[in-house]
Amino acid sequence: MQQERYEAAAFRRLLKHLQTRTDVQNIDLMNLAGFCRNCLADWYREAASDDGLPMDKQTARTLIYGMPPEEWKQRYQRPATAEALAQFKDPSKPSTE
């Protein structure tokens, strides 16, 4: 199906973009868009499971980050600002569930 090919291509482009934009922190993605790299990994893992392929969280996150997530955190993750943490914990934000 053409639509699925286009969706897959767009998803691959999104992953490459996020893997390149290591300056964009997960908490900022969550605060602005309601999802982050970890959310994408969870959605990927759920889709694999729905298709009969069990996948652990570590494997899914490594696929999304393009490296083990611990390595990404060590290289690129900065401490979250107090403002970002407060925004993340804001109960008035819509749920991503």
CATH number at residue 52: 1.10.3340.10
Does 43 reside within a domain? yes
Under a CB-based contact definition with an 8 Å cutoff, are residues 35 and 96 in contact? yes
Domain containing residue 39: 2-73
Does 67 reside within a domain? yes
| C-alpha pair distances (Å), 85 with each of 40, 79, 89, 90, 93 | 20, 10, 6, 9, 13
Does 63 reside within a domain? yes
Under a CB-based contact definition with an 8 Å cutoff, are residues 49 and 55 in contact? yes
Question: Model's pTM, two decimal places?
Answer: 0.89
- Tens-level pLDDT at each residue, the chain (97 residues): 899 999 999 999 999 999 999 999 999 999 999 999 999 999 999 999 999 999 999 999 999 999 999 999 999 999 999 999 999 998 787 766 6
